[in-house]
Structure 1
């Protein structure tokens, strides 16, 4: 019997590699897109590091979100698409359009190719950034009903790009999808085991903390979720009859400060205790520094912001129960120590 074939875009990414791993373990065939075949060995090594021995169900195709070449071939005989790839955010941008245009154009290019190939369903990896931004004085947990308010002051272009790209996806499916199904996963900050030294930017804070590079932390709260649970939510969103047309917020529902993250690491890895931060930077210092440093603008936009989230929908509709935020932070650190990323 023919196995269902799933196309996973951006196959070398942190979330994508865990999705591929679980799809293969679940018995699906997987075709992964790569910007360049030079990443093929890396992806295979990550899957082996993740415990996958049989890679016979995996193939690769070269395709980029910056042009349409290769996408028709990528979609050939595909049953489902996991659109995880995202243009790499440049934090040192000249204009917002540098971040927004590629994000929107890339999503539409993949959806058009999927529709034309008669793919059953696309699961899009969006972000918490499409949900929470621009809401002042929030006191109740964010849910899938919420959308970032792009009319508000100080919306970071990254959040703007994520919001506009997801909006464009829903609009396309509603008006030009011709029966193509869409489900969307919106993860908060993603932690969990890295499978190689080529890891996601969301994990860099753990590596830098353990390496003693973080003297003090900003007053920023966040939700955290394990990459293994994010991958599982994508697969549930792909296979469940009730998931079509729905968004799913990938979150444990817990809120941790940056200092909580440092304390979690300190308790789990006492041998690194002296390297971990114990103090919080004054808000004014961050705000002032961000004026001259584009790299700090994202952090500055999050200072003091409410970060409560709910995963009730994912639990009720899909039976998705993630592991704790603390355990995913510890797993991130342990994997970095095991792979020699952190000495």
Structure 2
């Protein structure tokens, strides 16, 4: 599988993010087994290439998912984009600025949400954190009231943001953390696992808020996540990292098409019946009550399939695209197989 990366011009004003051939490595060490106290002296050093020639660009107003297994380079990429880490080589521009050189200026125009790290004060209400950030970003009183009213409303925080943080559920804390991080209305927002461990109502509220800000203010979002629903629901474009390199940059539908354009059909049965003889039909699951099978997309309009689904043996049916999580699993397996065959 080959990947062609086309990076836009560095002076393109339509870009929120530009990354060109970025590399970052870390030096760590392993203790040699069985050496006791000498193990702290006799260390075996290892060089980990966290980012290995990463290139991509993101237009203003896009919502992009940054995907990859543990250790693929997602979090390192977010830290480099936000100026927390400096790359060993390559070029990065966020809103036309170098994140490392222009950290203070850029910080006023971007937002960062780390799912595992909260900005809230445990013994204080979330509102106190909002007020602290009001002073930090120089937000006027009237503008602060408008923004708090908007964020509290869109995130459904009316009953919680004035209570001590320690009294809130994880989902409520994450929503308050999201509000605090976006109070200054950043143009670009980086989210690292924003919904990890969050209950469904809270994750829905976070997604609704993200969509609303994107539509209302044109906010650009780059989301590093493992959550399949975040990818399917939020992002139209996915960038996949593996061992520090970009191995895919395109639509979610594009990933599915790598394995053929298939649909999954579930037919709920009234009685015993057989599938029609169609090319490419594959039974996935069968019980006395239903049968689930895959079929090439081009066969969906075939008259024989229509006759089967409308027969008196079928009570109801549904047609859907293959589960995206399974498709991603296939993608990673194919990647591992291709990589192994080249070694």
TM range (shorter): under 0.3
Point out the structure with max Rg over C-alpha.
2
Structure ranking higher in strand proportion: 2
Provide TM-score, normalisation by structure 2: 0.27
Provide TM-score, normalisation by structure 1: 0.27
Structure ranking higher in helix proportion: 1
